[in-house]
Amino acid sequence: MNEAFKASTGVRLYLTSFFNRIIKLNAWEENFQDRVESIRGEEIGFLRKNATLKAFMNFVYGSAPSLVTLASFGTYVAIDPENNVLTADKVFVCLSLFNLLR
C-alpha cells in the first residue's frame, strides 16, 4: 500500500509541476484539473485507509492488557466456580503482576 501511495503522489506532483506551463499555453486547464483531482482522490483514499488501519491498531494495542486481564479472571472463575472465588487479595496481586508484564 505504501508503494501505491508514493506512486499516486509522485504522479500528481509530476503532472502539476512539469505540465503547468504547457497547460496554460494550450488552455487545457479544465481537462488537466479533472485528471489531477481524480489522482488526488486515489491519494486521499490511500490516506484514509492508512489512518483507519492505524486507529484500529492503536485501539487493539491499547485495549489488549485490559482484555487479557478480564479473560484471565473469567477463565479462573469459569474453571471451578465453587473453589476459585475472586477475593480482593487475589485480584490486587494479579493486577500488580499484569502491570509488571506490560
Per-domain residue ranges of the chain: 2-101
The pLDDT, as a whole number, for residue 49 is: 95
* pLDDT tens-place values along the chain, 102 residues long: 577 666 666 777 777 776 776 777 677 777 778 888 888 898 899 999 999 999 999 999 999 989 999 999 999 999 988 888 888 998 999 999 888 887
Prediction pTM value: 0.58
The pLDDT, as a whole number, for residue 58 is: 96
CB burial string 65-82: b at 16+ within 10 A, e below? eeeebeeebeeeeeeeee
User: How far apart, in Å, are the Cα atoms of 35 and each of 10, 14, 31, 41, 62?
Assistant: 14, 12, 7, 10, 41
User: How far apart, in Å, are the Cα atoms of 31 and each of 6, 24, 60, 62?
Assistant: 23, 11, 44, 47
